[in-house]
């Protein structure tokens, strides 16, 4: 039985004071949550958010990292640095990074492996653009992205990752995937994991859906058999809407 994970991606929003205030409010509303809760603040507030979340069920993720252990990479942050400040998870290969920072399938795969090597749980993102969907290429694109990640890992390593399926056309647009569209891709990804690393790995691994998840659509999405949680942007920036997602069973 896979536990659901509701993860908030705060992107490039919130000062340290705002980030701490948000996590404090989230903590107050967690009682009775049916699944796990995670927030991904910007690098600058990781230390403060980890301290504020300490002793609570809120896990803290970074939104990116470099795949090298250290070196002359100005402006970058290493896996060990994230671990050092108490981060437990890291979001990798978000479509905004693929689109605006030229991240490649190969780079995302290397980062996923490097995160595991450092003891972090990677939340590795995949998903097709609108033109790829309209051209009937959704499964080809998702297979290419997922395979790149899976082929960099052993079955034991693969069992420790989280995959987020985020159709690019649904991110920040208010256009959520229909339950049928989400379930179809999630089931496909799970089959693919099973084909590469064995069925038990496919069955154990959590696959999150991301793309305009809101309080009014979360319950239906979470009821889908292969959707194991949500990666949320906009609705994670305010405690009241994020807590409604965390309590998806009551919406
Ligand atoms: C995201 O940033 O990963 C995301 C899914 O954003 P939104 O929920 O705003 O669509």
Res 49: pLDDT = 98
53 Cα distance to chain centroid:
18
Q: Using the mean position of ligand 1's atoms as its centre, give its distance from the Cα of residue 232 in Å.
A: 5
Cα angle 188-193-196, degrees, rounded to a multiple of 5: 125
pLDDT along the chain (251 residues), means of 10: 96 98 98 98 98 98 98 98 98 98 98 98 98 97 98 98 98 94 98 97 97 97 98 98 98 96
Residue to probe by mutation, ligand 1, list 234, 238, 242, 244, most atoms within 8 Å of CB: 234
180 part of the active site: no
Closest CA to ligand 1's atom 2: 233
- C-alpha distance across the termini of the chain, in Å: 22
- Cβ of 108 closer than 6 Å to ligand 1, yes or no, is no
Would the pTM of this model clear 0.85, i.e. be above it? yes
CA distances from 113 to 58, 82, 110, 145, 182 (A): 24, 15, 5, 14, 26
**Rounded Cα gap, residues 84 and 192, in angstroms:** 34
Res 1: pLDDT = 84
Are the beta carbons of 28 and 242 closer than 8 angstroms?
Answer: no
Res 222: pLDDT = 98
Q: Using the mean position of ligand 1's atoms as its centre, give its distance from the Cα of residue 95 in Å.
A: 10
11: Cβ–Cβ under 8 A, 6 or more apart, which residues?
42, 63, 96, 233
Res 150: pLDDT = 98
- Tell me how many helices (H) and strands (E) the chain has: 12, 8
150: Cβ–Cβ under 8 A, 6 or more apart, which residues?
158, 192, 193, 196, 197
203 part of the active site: no
Q: How many CB atoms lie within 10 A of CB 56?
A: 14
Query: One of 96, 128, 132, 166 is an active-site residue; which one?
Result: 166
- Cβ of 96 closer than 6 Å to ligand 1, yes or no, is no
Q: Using the mean position of ligand 1's atoms as its centre, give its distance from the Cα of residue 44 in Å.
A: 20
């Amino acid at each position: 039985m896979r536990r659901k994970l509701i993860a908030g991606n705060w992107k490039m929003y919130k000062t340290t004071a705002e980030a701490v205030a948000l996590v404090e409010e989230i903590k107050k509303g967690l009682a009775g949550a049916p699944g796990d809760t995670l927030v991904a603040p910007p690098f600058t507030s990781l230390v403060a958010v980890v301290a504020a979340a300490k002793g609570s069920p809120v896990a803290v993720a970074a939104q990116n990292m470099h795949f090298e252990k250290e070196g002359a990479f100005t402006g970058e942050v290493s896996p060990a640095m994230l671990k050092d400040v108490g981060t437990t998870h890291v979001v990798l290969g978000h479509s905004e990074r693929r689109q605006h920072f030229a991240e490649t399938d190969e780079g995302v795969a290397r980062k996923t492996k490097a995160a595991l090597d450092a003891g972090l749980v990677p939340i590795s993102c995949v998903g097709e653009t609108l033109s790829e969907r309209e051209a009937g290429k959704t499964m080809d694109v998702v297979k290419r992205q997922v395979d790149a990640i899976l082929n960099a890992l052993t079955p034991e390593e693969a069992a420790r990752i989280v995959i987020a399926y985020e159709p690019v056309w649904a991110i920040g647009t208010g256009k959520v995937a229909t339950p049928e569209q989400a379930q179809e891709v999630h089931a496909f990804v799970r089959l693919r994991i099973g084909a590469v690393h064995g069925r038990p790995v496919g069955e154990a691994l959590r696959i999150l859906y991301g793309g305009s998840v809101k309080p009014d659509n979360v319950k239906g999405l979470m009821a889908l058999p292969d959707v194991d949680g949500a990666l949320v942007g906009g609705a994670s920036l305010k405690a009241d809407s994020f807590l409604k997602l965390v309590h998806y069973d009551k919406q």
